[in-house]
Structure 1
Amino acid sequence: MQQEYSATLTGAAFMLYELKQVLKIKWAGFNDEEIREKVLNDNLFQYQIKSSLQRGLPSILRRVNVLDDTLGSTLLEQSLESAKIINLYAIMKTDRLFFEFMNEVIREKLESNNSFLEKKDINLYFASKAEQDQGVAGWTEQTVTKLKNVIKRILLESGILKDKKTGELSRILMDDHLKQYLIQIGDIAYVRAMGEV
């Protein structure tokens, strides 16, 4: 069944540090409820505002839960580059709006060697989603603006967006073992969405 579009990304941007912390706790044998308690009680992410913590945590848990042992250990033990790519993959796996943005906007740009993301690209993407989906059409302007900013931040932190001002894009350098593994587990669509073939 296809995921619904959601605006949860507004509360959970790239969050690589947080993902690593939660993954470590999960591997120590804690379930989602225990993880939630531990993160909130120990302020594991060192957030000043607890509501930010509560908003982001469900997304982090969803991301952790789509990673198998191989991807989890690669994220924790391999290079920062690989960790960023796996986090990007987990965001796409758990957020339909973001996956489709990567697939329909970023992939097309990288495949056609157009290495600039313009404001109008993001605006057109949201306009077309609002035409296709009543849920998206019902979002407030504030929510849409926030989502646009979060998407740009994720692209920047993952290394796909080189420069926020100019909108210059750059190809990520995906480790070959990681690429082959994602293809092997049937997730070539996500590899392609990141501009890799």
Structure 2
Amino acid sequence: MELEYSSSLNGASFLFFELKQVIKLKQQGLTKDEIRKKVREENLFQFNNQGRINRALPSVMKRAEVIDEALAALILEGSIEIGKVLNLYAIMKTDLLFFEFMDEVIKEKLHNNNYLLEKKDINVFFASKAEQSEKVASWSDNNVEKLKRAYMQILYESGMLRTRKGKELDRLIIDEQIKQHLTQIGDARYICAMGE
């Protein structure tokens, strides 16, 4: 599927616990509609309002779609670290702008052993995307600011950012099984984007 730039991460950031819930239901053989219904009716994401569920659910469903059987098993049975890496992969695979951020900013930094992520790095990235894309250029400043925060939140929750408000990057330890599998299915670029 061709991805377009989107700011949907504003309502959807990391959502690892939520992804696991959806994958479990998928493994039980539920259809997409049944999963959506069950998540809403039983509040499986444990959110305190319906609006938040409605914002997060489409992204989580999309992420679950790109997780194949082998990866689903790793998410459900593997360590939390493995799960976080795979969630990060699913986010990159379903969000083009975030993938480009990882690929153009984070990968470059780690490649050069530069572990400092500064505000200007993110600002420059968004400014250059706004020059390249009318869609990004049309987003309000408020929307872009929220998106920058969402990106930082994802880096933090995935383990790539040492502290929530910090600037220090950490390399992810990526399990060999994951590297081999993603390489086999033609998704090695996502491993590279994580700084491998």
Tell me if TM exceeds 0.5: yes
1:70 lines up with 2:75 in the alignment = no
| Cα distance in 2 for residues equivalent to 1:124 and 1:72 | 35
In structure 2, what is the equivalent of residue 167 of structure 1?
Answer: 167
Q: Deviation per CA, 1:9-31: give whole Å up to 9, x if none.
A: 10101000000001101111111
- Bigger shift: residues 85-94 or 25-34: 25-34
In structure 1, what is the equivalent of residue 60 of structure 2?
Answer: 60
| Cα distance in 1 for residues equivalent to 2:95 and 2:41 | 27
- Bigger shift: residues 40-49 or 146-155: 40-49
Q: Deviation per CA, 1:32-70: give whole Å up to 9, x if none.
A: 111111111111111111100000000000000001100
Q: Which runs of 4+ in 1 moved over 2 A?
A: 163-166
| Cα distance in 2 for residues equivalent to 1:165 and 1:60 | 25
Matches within 5 A, 1:32-51: 32-51=32-51
1:27 lines up with 2:27 in the alignment = yes
Normalised to the residue count of structure 1, the TM-score between the two structures is: 0.97
Structure 2: gaps (5+ residues):
none
Among all aligned residue pairs of Structure 1 and Structure 2, give the percentage whose two residues are the same amino acid: 54
Matches within 5 A, 1:71-90: 71-90=71-90
SS of aligned partner of 2:162: strand
Matches within 5 A, 1:81-160: 81-160=81-160
Normalised to the residue count of structure 2, the TM-score between the two structures is: 0.98
Letter in 1 for 2:173: L
In structure 2, what is the equivalent of residue 191 of structure 1?
Answer: 191
TM-align CA RMSD: 0.9
Structure 1: gaps (5+ residues):
none
Letter in 2 for 1:120: K
Q: Deviation per CA, 1:79-109: give whole Å up to 9, x if none.
A: 1110000000000000001000000000000
SS of aligned partner of 1:163: coil
In 2, are the aligned partners of 1:116 and 1:166 still within 8 Å (CA)? no
SS of aligned partner of 1:186: coil
| Cα distance in 2 for residues equivalent to 1:99 and 1:162 | 20
| Cα distance in 2 for residues equivalent to 1:166 and 1:89 | 22
SS of aligned partner of 2:21: helix
Letter in 2 for 1:153: Q
